């Protein structure tokens, strides 16, 4: 019988497990709407009121060839009807043009005066704000990932993102009401079949806004990829809970029924008590075979002492899924964020993140749920700029241009680091063309006391012969354990040009069951990094 993970715990601290339930998933966010803003009231002006316009005079900057001509030019400008507003010690005047004369016309008059080097309209300049959206000031996460700089190169146009969540309010939230911005189709409501996948919980709308809220529409904030298209897949109910079967079904529908290249899931669960999550893993593999990039929250799991753990959260722990952890505004791992080599590939802002909420409201939430759409939006920005790339190339670019945090190179707390779409878009790296790694299964016999495994790992990533002999970390998960531990090995370099490693594993007494191994080369000051496919070993 499969287990169940609920959103809350019983008084004894153990997860409730109803007898007939499938593995369940939940939204990975804390403190729904920590701060909630309602829509401002707008007063309409009295149509009968009349305002007399003030007389305005255009300003012109007149540059003089040298100081000797300053006096004569001043006289000539005044004779032409100009009003000297200011004299500069760098041989220039600021002049008001005659009433009714525009700056261009008066500039031509001024240029005809002897001693004038140039004349131009005094153009109005504005602060170089990233957006005119009024609450961008509280959205610290966007500058943290370099989104404003990225928008000069891409805004996600032409890329569709499937948001598997509690639905989206694309009907009453102005930041999500752009033409074709959010596709709300009843066939993608897995909670109430055929009904528009409206969000009554708030989580899905908040996630959607982080991913792709409109920019420069004068309403609330902005999203990471403001020109991307979102598809609402309602897989969580109005309390933020769902189950494996529903999500697995939705993942397959994304690639079979929509043009979505990116699947974003701010949800997770502990999987089957027997280990792993075969149903979700099969659905993810199917989506990957169709070219989709799958991104999921690493989880907000903690142990009995309230300390974040490396316990896997599914689907983030599934091979090939980009798992996303959360950081705070100090670029430190969030107190609630899961971490580890399985769940976490990248991190993104996830503490007090402001975004859209249903019915034209705006507020803050925290969680790895909030971090995930930053990465999904970043993927949309990169894919929009490089439409010929495949999912593996987009993932490679996001990971290899991430801002390193924590220990140098790929580490257990921050993975590859903070997602930086601006650096990904500015990079001249051409990511290698490859396919998602498969899972290998090997069977070995045991006498019950000891066993040895000689495991070859073929790694894909940024590697050259010069990496031979550098440190490689091999992670192993033992039967009945949700935790990964690690040892070390050495890299070798084969004649086929693929890096690999030999690693001898010994555990006494040996436990029969399924072991999982994955090699990860963390790199060094050169910035090299690579991972192997997961090898599943069945000990009988």
Catalytic residues: 165, 203, 369
The two structure tokens encoding residue 338:
């899961």
The SS3 assignment for 352 reads: coil
- What is the spatial distance between Cα 246 and Cα 28, in angstroms, rounded to a whole number? 17
289 Cβ contact partners less than 8 Å away, ≥ 6 residues apart: none
- What is the spatial distance between Cα 61 and Cα 538, in angstroms, rounded to a whole number? 81
DSSP 355-424: EEETTTEEEEEBSHHHHHHHHHHHHHHHHHH-TT--HHHHHHHHHHTSBP-SSSSSBTTTBT-B--HHHH
List, edge to edge, every strand of the sheet that includes 229-234.
182-183, 229-234, 160-165, 262-265, 293-297, 322-327, 346-349
- What is the spatial distance between Cα 507 and Cα 50, in angstroms, rounded to a whole number? 88
Rg of the chain taking only CA atoms, in angstroms: 29
Enumerate the H helices of 213-367 as residue ranges. Answer: 244-257, 278-289
With 0-12 CB in 10 A as exposed, 13-18 as middle and 19+ as buried, what is 262? buried
Name the nearest CA neighbour of 266 among 447, 32, 478. 32
Give the Å distances, CA to CA, from 89 to 74, 76, 387.
Answer: 14, 19, 53
Name the nearest CA neighbour of 271 among 305, 203, 321, 197. 321
Write down the residue that tokens 């993608």 correspond to.
Answer: 188
Name the nearest CA neighbour of 339 among 365, 303, 374. 303
List, edge to edge, every strand of the sheet that includes 24-27.
241-243, 24-27, 267-268
- What is the spatial distance between Cα 205 and Cα 176, in angstroms, rounded to a whole number? 9
- What is the spatial distance between Cα 459 and Cα 356, in angstroms, rounded to a whole number? 41
Q: What distance lies between CA 328 and its chain's CA centroid? A: 15
Name the nearest CA neighbour of 228 among 218, 214, 216, 249. 214
List, edge to edge, every strand of the sheet that includes 361-365.
36-37, 361-365, 353-357
Angle at 320 between CA 27 and CA 242, to 5 degrees: 25
- What is the spatial distance between Cα 534 and Cα 540, in angstroms, rounded to a whole number? 19
Write down the residue that tokens 């993927």 correspond to.
Answer: 379
- What is the spatial distance between Cα 393 and Cα 121, in angstroms, rounded to a whole number? 48
Give the Å distances, CA to CA, from 458 to 281, 369, 462, 463, 475.
Answer: 21, 32, 13, 11, 14
């Amino acid at each position: 019988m499969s287990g169940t993970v609920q959103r809350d715990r019983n008084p004894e601290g153990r997860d409730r497990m109803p007898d007939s339930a499938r593995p369940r998933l939940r939204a990975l966010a804390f403190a729904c709407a920590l701060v909630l803003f309602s829509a401002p009231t707008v007063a309409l002006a009295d149509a009968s009121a009349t305002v007399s316009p003030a007389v305005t005079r255009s300003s012109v900057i007149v540059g003089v060839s040298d100081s000797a001509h300053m006096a004569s030019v001043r006289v000539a400008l005044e004779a032409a009807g100009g009003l000297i507003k200011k004299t500069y010690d760098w041989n220039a005047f600021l002049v008001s043009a005659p009433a009714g004369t525009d700056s261009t016309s008066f500039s031509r008059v001024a240029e005809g005066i002897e001693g004038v080097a140039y004349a131009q309209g005094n153009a109005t300049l504005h602060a170089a704000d990233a957006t005119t959206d009024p609450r961008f000031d509280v959205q610290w996460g966007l500058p943290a990932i370099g989104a404003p700089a990225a928008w000069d190169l891409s805004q996600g146009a032409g890329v569709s993102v499937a948001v598997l969540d509690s639905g989206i309010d694309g009907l009453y939230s102005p930041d999500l009401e752009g033409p074709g911005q959010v596709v709300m189709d009843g066939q993608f409501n897995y909670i109430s079949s055929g009904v528009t996948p409206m969000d009554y919980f708030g989580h899905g709308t908040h996630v959607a806004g982080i991913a792709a809220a409109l920019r420069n529409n004068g309403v609330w904030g902005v999203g990471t990829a403001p020109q991307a298209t979102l598809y609402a897949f309602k897989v969580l109910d109005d309390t933020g809970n769902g189950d494996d079967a529903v999500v697995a079904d939705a993942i397959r529908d994304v690639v079979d029924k929509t043009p979505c290249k990116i699947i974003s899931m701010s949800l997770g669960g502990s999987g089957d008590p027997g280990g792993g999550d075969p149903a979700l893993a099969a659905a993810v593999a199917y989506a990957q075979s169709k070219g989709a990039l799958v991104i999921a929250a690493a989880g907000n799991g903690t142990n009995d002492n309230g300390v974040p753990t490396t316990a896997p959260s599914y689907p983030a722990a599934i091979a090939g899924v980009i798992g996303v952890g959360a950081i705070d505004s100090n670029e430190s791992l969030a107190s609630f964020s899961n971490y580890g080599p399985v769940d976490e590939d990248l991190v993104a802002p996830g503490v007090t993140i402001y975004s859209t909420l249903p019915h034209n409201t705006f507020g803050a939430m925290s969680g790895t749920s909030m971090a995930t759409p930053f990465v999904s939006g970043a993927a949309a920005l990169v894919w929009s700029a490089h439409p010929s790339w495949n999912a593996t190339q987009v993932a490679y670019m996001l990971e290899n241009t991430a801002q390193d945090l924590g220990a140098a190179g790929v580490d257990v707390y921050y993975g590859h680091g903070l997602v930086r779409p601006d650096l990904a878009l500015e990079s001249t790296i051409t990511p290698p063309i490859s396919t998602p790694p498969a899972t290998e299964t090997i069977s070995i016999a045991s006498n019950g006391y000891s066993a040895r495994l000689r495991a070859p790992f073929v790694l894909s990533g940024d590697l050259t012969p010069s990496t031979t002999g550098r440190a490689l970390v091999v992670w192993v998960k033992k039967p009945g354990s949700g935790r990964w531990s690690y040892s070390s090995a050495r890299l070798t370099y084969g004649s086929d040009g693929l890096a690999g490693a030999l690693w001898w594993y010994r555990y006494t007494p040996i436990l029969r069951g399924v072991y999982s191994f994955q090699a990860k080369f963390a790199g060094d000051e050169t910035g090299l990094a690579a991972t192997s496919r997961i090898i599943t070993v069945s000990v009988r």
